[in-house]
Chains A and B, each alone.
Chain A
Amino acid sequence: MSGKFNFDPPSSASSDSGDENDALHMAADHSASDGECPAPNQGRDVQDHELEICTATRNPGSPQLNNADSSGSGEEAMPVDDEQTFEDALPATEGVSTPGHMSPTPHSKPATPLKQQGLLGQVRSPRTRRQRTSSTSLSGTNSTTCRSREPILRGKRQAIYTSGRPPWYDAQGQMVEPFVIGVCGGSASGKTTVAQKIIEELDVQWVTLLSLDSFYKILSPKQHEEAERNEYNFDHPDAFDFELVIKTLKRLKEGKKVEVPIYNFLTHRREAKTKTMYGANVIIFEGILAFYSPELVKLLDMKVFVETDSDERLVRRLTRDISRRGRDLDGVLKQYFKFVKPAFDYYIAPSMVHADIIVPRGGENEVAINLIAQNVMTQLTQRGFKLREKLAHVNFSEARPCSLHLLPSTPQVRGLHTFIRNKETPRDEFIFYSKRLIRLVIEHALTLLPFRDVCVDTPQGVPYTGKRIATERLCGVSILRAGETMEGALCDVLKDVRIGKILIQTNQETGEPELYYLRLPKDIKDYQLFVMDATVATGAAAMMAIKVLLDHDVPEDNISLCSLLMTEQGVHNIAYAFPKVKIVTTAIDPSVNDKFYIVPGIGNFGDRYFGTEPSEED
C-alpha cells in the first residue's frame, strides 16, 4: 500500500497510502472535538500534577512515536493543529509525505518500528503539547471556543470562571453527585458546539468536559498497520475503551481525581502524560458513541442527541477536511462511505432512542440549548449547593469532639489573643503577636504526629532513650491568603517541610467558598499534612481544602487542621464531616455574624496581616 500515494493528509505521519485516509480523517475529526476538552478544563490546569503514567511501555510497535522522538522537531510535528500548516510542521518527521509531495521511500516505514522497539525503554512520551486548537466545529462561535489557556468563559451575560469550584459535597462532607450531561451525535454534527453552548448558558462555575475521543483503544501492531493503511475503523464501538470510560466517569461522579488519557492520533497510543480532571458540579460527556454502552447511559443524568442532517454533516466534513486540512475529495468521500456513514447508521442513529432531548440543527438551536440549561439549573438548585449557609445553621451538641486539640488557655495565649483581637493594635504588633501565637499552634500540632522510640548515644557516653518523629514526609497546605501567614512558623520548626497551597475564595454573591487554585506535592497521599488557615468560621473553606486532599487519596487521619481561632460551629462541622482530622486551634469563639465573621473574633485576619483592609472601618 505504501507506495500508493501522494495526496496524503500528513496529519498522520504514517499514512502514505493515498486512497484510504480514513484513519486520518477520524484522527482529525476527533482531535477536533477533543480539542474542546482543555477549554472548560483549563482552570484545572493548575491542578495538573503531571502524573506520568507509563503507557508508553505498553505499546510497542507504534512507529510514529519514534518519528516524533527522533526528529528534533517531533514536538512540533505531532500536534494535530488545524491552524498550523502541515507543510511547516512535517518535513522534519521522516517518512511523511506532504500534500503534493510524493510518498516516502518504502523502507522508511519498516525501519521505524524496529527502531521504536529498541528505543522503547528510553522513549519519553513524545511530549507533544497537543495544541489542538478549538476544534473543528466551524460553528462560528470562534470568539468563545477559541480560548487560549485562560480559565474564563465569556458568556453572553457574564464571565464564567471554570476554575472557581463551588462546594461539591454537602454539610457532612459527603459528595453531592454531579450532574452528568451526555451529548451524542454523528460526526460533524456539532456536538462540541452544543456542549460549549450549554456550558456558556449554565450559570455554573465548575464544569468538566470529557470527550470519548480520549478513550480510543491502544492499537495492536496489526491494527496499527491497518490504521496506517486507513483500514482501521475508528467509528466502530470496538475502537473505544468503554471499560475505561465507565470507570473514569464513575470516579468523576464521586468527585475523585481522575487521570484522563491523552490519545495521540499519530501514534494511536496514549501519551505518557495524562490529563488530571476532577469531578465537577456539571460534567459534560460527549462523543459519537456516547450512548452506545448501556452501562454508560445509566451514568448520564441527561442525554442530548444532536441531530444534524446527514447532508449537512457531509458538507461540513468536506469543507473541514478539504479546505482546512488539505485533503482531497476522493479520500474524504471514501472514508465517509466506508466507515463514517455505516457507523452512523448502525450505531449512532439507533442510540437516539436513549436521548431525553434531541437537538435539531446542532449548535445553532438556541432555544433547545436554553431549555437544556434551564433544566440543568433547576436540577442543581434542587440538589442544593448552599453549603456555607447550611453550615452556619447546623445544630451541634454541647460536647466538643475528641478530634479537637485546643491549646491550653495559658496567660500567654490569652495575652496574645488580647493583642491580635484588639482592633486598635497596629499592624507591626499584630503581625508580631500573631506569629508568636502561630508558633504555639504549630508546635502543638507537631505533638500529634506519630513518634517512634529511639535510643541514641550521647557525648556523655550514656545511652538516652528518646523519641523521633516517625515520618520524614511532612507537608503544610496553606489556604490562601490567611493560611499563608502560618507557613513561616511551620518552616521554622520543620527543616524540610513541603508547602502546598490552595486558593479558596468566597463568592461575594453566594457567600459560598470556591476553589480556584491548587498546588500540592506529587505523592501527597504519603504525607502527614498540616492544613493551615488563620481563622475557621463556618469551616466551609477548611472543609473544601480537606475534601480536596481526600480526593487525592490522602488518608483522613494524616490531616491536621491548624488555625488560630475557630467557632463552635466550625469545630463541630469539621469534626462531624471528617472525624479523623485533628483540629488544632488556640481559641474557640461562640458564633459567626451575618457576614460570616467570627464574633468576637479577630476581624479579617488576612487583611489586617497584609494591610489590605478597606480604608473605612465599619
Chain B
Amino acid sequence: MGTMSEVVGVVAPFDKRPSSPAASPSPSKTPKASPLAQPLPTEQPPSDRIRPNIEPQNKEGAVSAEDGEDSGHGSVESYGPHLRLITANRQVKELQTILRDKNTSRSDFKFYADRLIRLVIEEGLNQLPYGECTIVTPTGCQYQGLQFTKGNCGVSIVRSGEAMEHGLRLCCRSIRIGKILVESDADTHEARVVYAKFPDDISQRKVLLMYPIMSSGNTVVKSMRVLKEHEVEEHNVILLNLFSTPSAARTLTTAFPQMRILTSEVHAVAPNHFGQKYFGTD
C-alpha cells in the first residue's frame, strides 16, 4: 500500500478523468485495493511497452522518477496504450531537471534540450515500420538485420516544434519535413491555423509530429485536424513531445485514440518557457 502522497498522486488523475478505457481493468487487477487506494498502478505493462528490457540499474531511476510527482506520472498507462514515455532513467531526469531549472543559462538550455530531443526522436523512430532482411558482413558472415520501410515524414508545429527538426535531421538526413503554424487568438485563446505546408503524398506517409511542450493540448488538436484534412490517418501519426501536462495527455488520447504519443514526462507543470528560451526571445 502506498504512502499518502502516492495515493493522492495516483488518485488525482483518476478523479479528474471522466471516463477512460484503462480505468475499468485497473481496480480488478488488485482485488484488495479499494479504488481510492490504488497502488502505483501496474509497473509491468508500461515498462513492457516502453522498453522491452529494463535493466536492473534503471529501476532506481524509473522509480525515483515517479516519486513525489503529483502529475500522475506513475499512471501513464491510464492514458491508453498509445501514450508512452521514453525510458525514465536518471540521465533523462537530469536533462529534465536542467531544462526546468530557471537558473540554467541559455546555451546550456539549448545544449541539453537538444540532447533530450535526440533521445525522444531516437525512441520515436523505433515506432516506425520495418522489415527483416539479411546482409553480409565484411567477414563474409550473414547477419539477420532489419530495414525501416520508406515513406515517413516529419511535421513540426511552429515555433517550438521546429526546435526538434534539427534532431530529426541528425537521425534521418533526407527526411521530408512539413510545417504547421498555429496561433492562439489573443482574446479567445482559441487556436487557429495560419499556415500549413506538407509533402504532397503525406496521406501515404507515417507522420512524426513534433511539438515539445503541451499544456492544454489545443495546438496539437488543431494541428491534427489539419493533418486529417490532408487525409492523414490517425494511426499513422506519432506525436513526439518532451513535456506534457496530464490534461493535455488526456485531451489528446481522448480526441485521437489511434494516435501514438511519445513524451519524456507527464507533469502538472509544463515548462512553458521552452520556446522562448530555446530561441532566445525571452
Contacts and interface: CB of A to CB of B under 8 A. Distances in A.
A439 interface: yes
A600 B100 contact: no
Interface stretch (B20-28, B49-57, B187-195): B49-57
A443 interface: yes
A430 B52 CA distance: 27
A617 interface: yes
Interface string A582-618: 0000000000010001111111100010000000011
Nearest to B124: A412
Contacts of B231: none
Contacts of A422: 135-137, 143, 145
The interface residues of chain B, by DSSP majority, are classed as mixed
Given A408-B51, A467-B94, A418 B143 contact: yes
A409 B55 CA distance: 12
B22 to A, nearest CB: 24
Interface residues of A, number: 54
B51 A465 contact: no
B230 interface: no
B119 interface: yes
Contacts of A599: 137, 139, 141
Query: In this complex, which of A424, A440, A464, A495 has the most chain B Cβ atoms within 10 angstroms of its Cβ?
Result: A464
B19 interface: no
Nearest to B56: A402
Interface in A566-584: none
A418 B269 contact: no
B64 interface: yes
Nearest to B267: A464
Given A412-B125, A447-B61, A457 B269 contact: no
A481 interface: no
Contact of B135 (A412, A418, A459): A418
A524 B171 CA distance: 34
B89 A447 contact: yes
Contacts of B56: 402
B147 interface: yes
Contacts of A443: 91, 115, 118-119
Interface string B41-72: 00000000001111111100100100110000
A466 B93 contact: yes
A467 B64 contact: yes
B26 to A, nearest CB: 26
Interface in B77-129: 87, 89-94, 96-98, 100-103, 108, 111, 115, 118-119, 122-123, 125-126, 128
Interface stretch (A77-85, A272-280, A281-289, A448-456): A448-456
Given A412-B126, A414-B145, A601-B139, A447 B58 contact: yes
Given A418-B146, A447-B61, A423 B137 contact: yes
Contact of B102 (A439, A458, A600): A458
A451 B90 contact: yes
B94 to A, nearest CB: 5
B135 A454 contact: no
B138 A617 contact: yes
A357 interface: no
A462 interface: yes
A421 B96 CA distance: 34
Contacts of A432: 173
Given A457-B101, A468-B97, A411 B138 contact: no
A418 B147 contact: yes
B29 to A, nearest CB: 26
B122 A412 contact: yes
A467 B130 contact: no
Nearest to B93: A467
B67 A459 contact: no
B138 A423 contact: yes
Contact of A411 (B103, B146, B173): B146
Interface in A173-205: none
20 contacts: A411-B128, A411-B130, A418-B133, A418-B135, A418-B146, A422-B136, A447-B90, A451-B90, A451-B94, A453-B64, A456-B102, A457-B102, A466-B94, A466-B97, A600-B142, A601-B137, A601-B138, A603-B138, A608-B138, A618-B140
Interface of A: 402, 405-406, 408-412, 414-415, 417-418, 421-424, 432, 436, 439-440, 443, 446-449, 451, 453-454, 456-460, 462, 464-469, 493, 495, 593, 597-604, 608, 617-618
The 8 closest A-B pairs by CB, nearest first: A603-B138, A466-B97, A418-B145, A600-B141, A456-B101, A447-B91, A422-B135, A447-B89
